[in-house]
Amino acid sequence: MTYPPNVGPAPHHAPERQPVPVAVPAPSPPSTRAVVTERLRAAATTEPGRLQIIGAVLALLVVAFGAVTAFEINDRAAAANDVVEHSQPLSATAANIYRSLADADAAAASGFLAGPQEPRPVHDQYVKDIDDASRLLVEAAANTDASTKSGHEITTLNEGLPRYTGLIERARAANRQGLPLGGAYLRYANQQMTNELLPAAERLYTAETDRLDQDYRSARTWPFFSLLVGVIALAVLFWAQRHNYRRTNRVFNHGLLAATAAATVVLLWLAVGHTVARADLAEANTHGQQSLDVLNRARIDSLKARSSENLTVVARGAVLTADGKSDKYETDYGTGMKALGEELGKAAKLAEDTHDAEGGKPVADAIEAVTEWQGRHRTARKTDDGGDYDTALEQIIGSENSTGESFSRVDEALRTALAHEQREFTRAAEDGRGALGGLPIGAAVLAVLGAVAAILGVNRRLSEFR
């Protein structure tokens, strides 16, 4: 076959392939979050939708305000209750443990000085002090976690007290037999009291006082978050009412007005109640606890000075200071009296600053008795140094014109001052606790009512669109 020029045979064509259909995945359904967001966006474009959102936000804010207020004030009220019911009583218990131990040591030395036949009142006082210390240790242990610092100190005291009383009984037995060994046992007992028991009691008192200070700070801390949420809630409520007025030209919406009133009451109650509570707790701390701390230390210093004074006569110069130049117990007496004077000066200043004439009078009496005590002590030391031991002993433990009589005046004045300051503390602290009473529950109830009122107020506007 002949083909025309430039024309070749027809090319061979492969059969056309049919396109293979590709599977297209079905679109995934929108997420719940996307659906909600879309509905909110659609609702926000209409007035009824916007009103529903405003009502929900208002109700949520008012409820949040009430919940936060209830939570924070309940925390403050619990701390104030701890001040009244737990930490301050434990601090007072620790101070009384210290006082009982120091008084027992002073009574034991006085009884020893009296000779083989210990005066019954002095013996009874010693027994009472030991019984009081034992009972107070049991009370403190029952209200203290054994693993805490206070628990360890209580354990130390419980273990050391029987050893101390054992030494005192040996001293008495030797004294009744006229053996000089009795004085040595008494000094050993005093060393255990001074080096082990009283330091442990002081650490216990410090730990409980620190816990009291922590409770004070917790109770007096401002509820800033509650106040902030309250201010925001009121601001949004005012905005919603202004928005309502501009849309409807109506001055009041009863529901929103009621919600605003409820939030305002809670905010004012919160601010005023906590301010009053802070003021009362500050008074309890300044007028009560600070004075109690100073007076407790003054009383302990007086007891330690009295014990050292008695032991000066018992040892008769046999025990010297570390440098070997001075009588140890006479030096301890001087140190104790100096500390006593400083604490009484602080107590007098506190009474003057708080214009507390009733509390200042026993402090002034104590200062006067201390001056008398120091004068009589100098006379007794001069007599003893002159070799007249019997007269010096009478000037120390006698019933009239003795240092013991002056010490009793100091102790009685301090006891009166402590009782007064304890009453002042209890009154002020209970007033502070009472100022917070009812606020957590009241805030929660008012918040719920305010939220309901806000919803009702918004629903009233919504009904106008139906």
Q: Which amino acid is at 211?
A: R
Q: Tell me what pLDDT residue 118 has.
A: 81
Give pLDDT tens digits for 335-390: 999 999 999 999 999 888 888 888 899 999 999 999 999 999 999 999 988 888 88
Q: What's the rounded Cα separation, in Å, for the pair 275 and 230?
A: 16
Tokens of 447: 């918040």
Q: Tell me what pLDDT residue 184 has.
A: 87
Say if CB 435 and CB 280 are below 8 A apart.
yes
Q: What's the rounded Cα separation, in Å, for the pair 112 and 430?
A: 45
Q: What's the rounded Cα separation, in Å, for the pair 179 and 444?
A: 75
Give pLDDT tens digits for 111-160: 888 888 888 888 899 999 999 999 999 999 988 888 888 999 999 999 99
For 187, the 3-state DSSP assignment is helix
What is the pTM (predicted TM-score) of this model? 0.75
Say if CB 303 and CB 110 are below 8 A apart.
no
Burial class (CB in 10 A: 0-12, 13-18, 19+), 235: exposed
If we measure between CA atoms, which residue out of 84, 107, 87 comes closest to residue 95?
Answer: 87
- Dihedral in degrees, nearest 10, Cα atoms 189, 194, 196, 197: 80
